[in-house]
């Protein structure tokens, strides 16, 4: 655990008692603060009481009269569409609002670091798509190279729940826009921006607010190195703002769409080959086509970003290449779960929005596509240019008929409703060379309580169909 520093003998309110909230309460107590906890749900309050934490209803009048700081969980709205009642009360009372990410950065370093030969470093990863895969891949590459590493944040453990880092260690944090927007301290050594596409727009009052939340990690975090995906205009703008000129190698530009030129530092993938260029010259190249855990251009972008971080940390290209081949991928993210009779089965249940589903559809040649669920705002028109590789769509979800209509007349589709029926029909019709792909382009909550449960159901149905 990372004890929270600088709040000894202070009363700190903790709002939201899920994983991050309870961990924050424990870390506050370990650092000598007095946490006062609240959750709108009875189950959360009961969990806190069982651990001996004091409860206080933060929505009642006067709740913040003696509070020095409010720490809130990332899922609780603090600005848009409207602040939670307790956060609004804290703002009115002039009480500072923070989250566990801010507490982590203010508390990480300790006096023990003076004895380290190599101080620990923090790598942060944000963006719309690919954050989890990129974060996990960075951690894998470092571990494979023999570097002590911990993975935390929006993936793995809570940031305050990790062990105090040792000499030369690296902490890799996946950070969402909810986390970067509110954290009062952001001081990563290396920060990664993968890409940007519309998501969580209600929480940020539009696309500009969403980008601004991501941008804080760089503009206010001031990382020593920034790895920036430049395939969208926002990334290109961010890279431009962070660099002082074309040859500034503190900014590493990354692309999965085109060759990057110029005197600076860049890493890009074209036709399945990763290339690293510095000062206008190629210094390394890796064939990504046979890296089974990273199929498709979107995963090649993740590989480029992770490669760039590894190079910043002094790992040789050949060592990175070896690590890439050992990466199995993450569950529910372009995960190859079975192969039979030259038919591949891929679980990309995490593809919950149009952009991530489009990236998955571009990764394979002939697809029997299982899609559908709770459709997000904006419709499905953004998918239409990427349906050329779809042999047939098998639509699930409570609104499967409406979803199928949104795909348009250019794709053969069948309304299946359930995962069981969709998998059975796709297996029955699959031909050698096909990929049966779950990439829903929708949220899961009409039939499942999470995208993980949806992916697990897909895997179970595939196993049953194949007799595994």
| 351-371 core/surface letters (b: 16 or more CB in 10 A; e: else) | bbbbbbbbbbbebbeebbbbb
Question: In the predicted model, what is the mean pLDDT of residues 274-299?
Answer: 93
**Residue 176 labeled ligand binder:** no
Q: What is the pLDDT of residue 355?
A: 87
Q: What is the pLDDT of residue 330?
A: 87
Question: In the predicted model, what is the mean pLDDT of residues 98-112?
Answer: 92
Question: In the predicted model, what is the mean pLDDT of residues 272-276?
Answer: 96
DSSP secondary structure string, 332-368? TBSEEEEEETTEEEEE-TT--SHHHHHHHHTT-SSEE
CA-based radius of gyration for the chain = 23
Of the ranges 94-98, 126-130, 457-461, which one carries the lowest mean pLDDT score? 126-130
Q: Please state, in angstroms and rounded to a whole number, the distance separating the CA atoms of residues 201 and 71.
A: 23
**Residue 127 labeled ligand binder:** yes
Confidence of residue 426 (pLDDT cuts 50, 70, 90): very high
CATH numbers and ranges of domains, the chain = 11-98 (3.40.50.720), 109-325 (3.40.1190.10), 335-466 (3.90.190.20)
**Residue 349 labeled ligand binder:** no
**Residue 133 labeled ligand binder:** yes
Q: What is the pLDDT of residue 292?
A: 87
Alpha helix ranges (H) inside 281-328: 296-312, 317-325
**Residue 130 labeled ligand binder:** yes
């Amino acid at each position: 655990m990372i004890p929270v520093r600088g709040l000894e003998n202070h009363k700190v309110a903790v709002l939201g008692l899920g994983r991050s909230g309870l961990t924050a309460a424990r870390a506050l107590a370990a650092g000598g603060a007095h946490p006062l906890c609240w959750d709108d749900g009875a189950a959360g309050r009961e969990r806190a009481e069982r651990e001996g934490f004091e409860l206080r209803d933060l929505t009642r009048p006067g709740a913040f009269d003696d509070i020095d700081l409010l720490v809130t969980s990332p899922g609780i709205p603090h600005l848009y569409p409207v602040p939670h009642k307790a956060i609004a009360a804290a703002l009115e009372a002039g009480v500072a609002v923070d989250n566990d990410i801010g507490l982590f950065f203010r508390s990480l370093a300790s006096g023990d670091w003076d004895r380290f030969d190599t101080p620990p470093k923090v790598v942060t990863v944000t963006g719309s798509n690919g954050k989890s895969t990129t974060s996990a891949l960075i951690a894998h590459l470092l571990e494979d190279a023999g570097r002590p590493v911990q993975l935390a944040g929006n993936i793995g453990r809570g940031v305050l729940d990790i062990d105090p880092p040792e000499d030369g260690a690296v902490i890799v944090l996946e950070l969402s826009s909810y986390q970067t927007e509110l954290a009062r301290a952001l001081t990563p050594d290396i920060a990664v921006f993968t890409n940007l596409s519309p998501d969580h727009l209600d929480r940020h009052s539009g696309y500009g607010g969403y980008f601004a939340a991501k941008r804080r990690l760089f503009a206010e975090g001031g990382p020593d190195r920034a790895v920036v995906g430049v395939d969208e205009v926002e990334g290109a703008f961010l890279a431009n703002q962070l660099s002082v000129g074309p040859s500034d190698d503190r900014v590493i530009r990354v692309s999965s769409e085109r060759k990057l030129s110029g005197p600076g530092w860049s890493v890009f993938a074209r036709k399945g080959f990763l290339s690293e260029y510095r000062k206008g010259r190629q210094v390394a190249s890796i064939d990504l086509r046979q890296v089974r855990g990273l199929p498709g251009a979107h995963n090649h972008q993740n590989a480029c970003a992770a490669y760039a971080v590894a190079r910043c940390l002094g790992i040789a290209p050949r060592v990175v290449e070896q690590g890439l081949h050992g990466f199995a991928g993450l569950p529910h993210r372009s995960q190859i779960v079975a192969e039979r009779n030259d038919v591949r089965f891929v679980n990309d249940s995490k593809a919950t929005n149009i952009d991530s589903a489009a990236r998955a559809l571009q990764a394979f040649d002939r697809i029997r596509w299982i899609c559908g669920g709770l459709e997000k705002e904006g419709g499905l028109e953004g998918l239409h240019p990427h349906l050329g590789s779809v042999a047939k769509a098998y639509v699930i979800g409570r609104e499967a008929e409406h979803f199928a209509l949104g795909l348009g007349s250019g794709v053969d589709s069948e309304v299946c409703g359930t995962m069981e029926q969709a998998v059975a029909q796709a297996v029955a019709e699959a031909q050698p060379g096909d990929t049966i792909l779950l990439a829903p382009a929708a949220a899961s909550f009409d039939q499942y309580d999470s995208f993980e449960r949806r992916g697990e159901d897909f895997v179970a149905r595939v196993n049953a169909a194949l007799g595994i």
